[in-house]
Amino acid sequence: MKSISAWLLAGFSLGASIVAQAQQAPIAPVAAKKPHSVKAPFGATRQDPYYWLRDDSRTDPEMLAYLAAENAYADAMLAPTKPLQDALYGEITARIKQDDSSVPYSKKGYYYYSRFETGGDYPIVARRKGSMDAPEQILLDEPKMGAGKGYFAISGREVSPDDKLLAYAEDSVGRRQYVIHVKNMATGDLLPDAITDAEPGFAWANDNKTILYVEKDPTTLLGKRVKAHILGTPASADRLLYEEKDDTFYMSLKKTTSDKFICIVLTSTVSSEERCAPSANPVTFTPLAPRERDFLYSSDNVGGQWTIRTNWQAPNYRLMTVSDTDAAQGRAVWKDIVPTSANIFIENFQPFDHFLAIEERSDGNKRLRLLTKVGESSFVEADEPAYAMTLDVNAESDTPWVRYTYDSLRTPETTYEVNTVTGERRVLKVQEVKGYDPGKYVTERLWATARDGTKVPVSIIYAKGFKKDGSAALYQYAYGSYGFSTDPTFRPTLPSLLDRGVVYAIAHIRGGQEMGRKWYDDGHLLNKMNSFTDFIDVTRYLVSQGYAAKDRVAAEGGSAGGLLMGGVANMAPQDYKAIVAQVPFVDVVTTMLDPSIPLTTGEYDEWGNPEQKKWYDVMLAYSPYDHVEAKVYPSLFVGTGLWDSQVQYWEPAKWVAKLRATKTDKNPLVFRVNMEAGHGGKSGRFRRYRDQAEYLAFALDQLGVK
């Protein structure tokens, strides 16, 4: 990042002139075209004149000058919306409780929680011994740690078994290359140990001095090796415990709820494997079940039993169990707890000593099911048509209480705990949203018919008094990839849209798992086109039903949802007035042809491998960058982060450059590049809302919302 500042401060001649020009008048930057061929192994060749915008080192002066010019142009183009940006930011942040704190949870005699001080971007992480009336012990003062840093994030906090040491992972760039530090909680001093290029998930062995962690490949950023670090020794001497040779697998570490085992978790799109070892001597890691294509599972251990969620002969998953003593015999001795269902999808679970809590999806909603050891089953009830229940932190298994959260587009997150013996339910916290009255809004669950006859669920919310007369503005969101389900949860930006008469909708398109595993299978690989057409068909349904005016629709998506936005912009530009594409994965074929790019090799079963002609053709059919044409496009807001490790900055940069040179309209195209952030944007509690206010103001302005 210093090199960027140096180039700009030095007044690099080309960059300075472009930036100055863009600041004087809103004249769009023009990226140079340079011949470059992208070749596939089977002989196909594509021309990519903007390939030069890729610079893995992020120091090329010409590239940096172009990005700086785009930011200057964005400043000029967005200047008229600055009052609206400020108003939105003020409204959103005013709703957020400044001195908020999490609900404390108990573990081994301590109550752990985090709290924000007024105005703070980062939390203070703390604990109290015995009760919340005991003196506070600050574990991490993140406001102090993050002060003056352009980007700052802490992940993977783990306390040693003797409760004396805290290990945590820090990222100060936004590229998810973490450094693991260890802190003496009694003295507050940092130990000299520092483990670099690590994943944020790690685990303590029972000896209180050995940390198991996943080491990343510095180029692909994939987790490759599990190593054991002994405190007080150099990281260079860390012992190798496991190395993964297959780059299609992602790797992480976990400790079971019983604390009895440490497991190496290996996952790909269609296969998984968990290798576990005793926490007392984590040296030899034995697979709970060996990997096999189209076989997925996850596990946890409580009370001498393993609970396993698996798709083995169960497309919508089932829950099975095996004892510690029989686990070495493999899946042949696994026994059903909850059999598979044709229309209920098991998404997650949490084992306790005397019952099992299950997250499952039915009709697009995520609900909570409680199952006792004697087979008695009950559901936690909901009062709204579209909602989400999610298991919260349940750190101890010897309890009749299970903690979970509930929210909807209308209802702010509420944390409950319910007693599985008595049925008593307690509200632990209702997320305070200042000035917000849920009674002013209405949420619905609609079902839009896609062009192939499939019913697509839609979660929608609007202000009371709204009339379905076809005049309103609509803001539609979706993701629709990797089997990730987009739940209808509350977000503090919503009232600012709804109070201005905007209708907000989430299209639960194929590619997610809202309707079960088949919903995902029908929205990826050969069926990926369904994701795009579902989104378009939801828009047309909502317009036809009077929820919006045809010329007042905005769409938003990020990452793989940004791919969705790029595809929609090419396929149905006439249906959208404005599109917001954040960190968009738009150069699909070129990226997937390059195994050195992070995530590429692990995604072949999500998108296909374009080194093979079959998949090359499938991906090329929708790749947004490859389908930019000389035609009218919607108004576009495109965002990226220079240090993004998930979708590299050059994908949206190339897409924007090609759009500028090709499209025939004069609709605004704004490209915002965050020079100090990665895939998730700026760090901090409030700073991200400044970014959101910017693109929401852009969209509202284009929709004619006052």
Question: Token pair of 42, please?
Answer: 């089977």
If we measure between CA atoms, which residue out of 624, 630, 651 comes closest to residue 570?
A: 624
In sequence order, the 6+-apart residues with CB closer than 8 A to the CB of 395 are 105, 106, 107, 112
Spatial distance between the Cα atoms of 134 and 478, rounded to a whole number of angstroms: 45
The residue annotated as part of the active site, out of 197, 534, 575, 644, is 644
Pick the catalytic residue from 559, 635, 645, 683.
Answer: 559
DSSP 8-state code for residue 333: G
Q: Mark residue 629 as left, alpha or beta (left: phi above 0; alpha: psi -120 to 50; beta: remaining).
A: beta
> Strand 502-507 to strand 473-477: parallel, antiparallel, or no bridges (unpaired)?
parallel
Distance CA 279, CA 264 (A): 12
98 phi/psi in degrees, rounded to 5: -65, -45
| Segment (H or E) for 361 | strand 355-362
Can you read off the two tokens belonging to residue 461? 């919310």
End-to-end CA distance of the chain: 39
Strands (E), 160-296: 165-171, 178-184, 190-204, 210-216, 223-230, 239-243, 250-255, 261-267, 272-278, 286-287
CA distance 301 to 259: 8
Clarify whether 623 is annotated catalytic: no
Structure tokens at 306: 């393993």
Tell me if residue 700 falls in helix, strand or coil.
helix
Those residues with Cβ within 8 angstroms of residue 437's Cβ, 6 or more apart along the chain or in another chain: none
Q: In this structure, how many other beta carbons lie within 10 angstroms of the beta carbon of residue 110?
A: 17
Is 36 designated active site? no
Helices and strands of the chain, counted as H and E runs: 14, 37
Identify whether 48 is a catalytic site residue: no
> Which residues are CB-contacts of 676 (< 8 A; sequence separation ≥ 6)?
1, 150, 151, 174, 642, 643, 682
Report the alpha-carbon distance of residue 481 to residue 493 in Å, rounded.
Answer: 24
Instruction: Provide the 10 A C-beta neighbour count for residue 23.
Output: 14
**Angle (CA) 101 106 107, round 5°:** 130
Q: List the catalytic residues.
A: 559, 644, 679
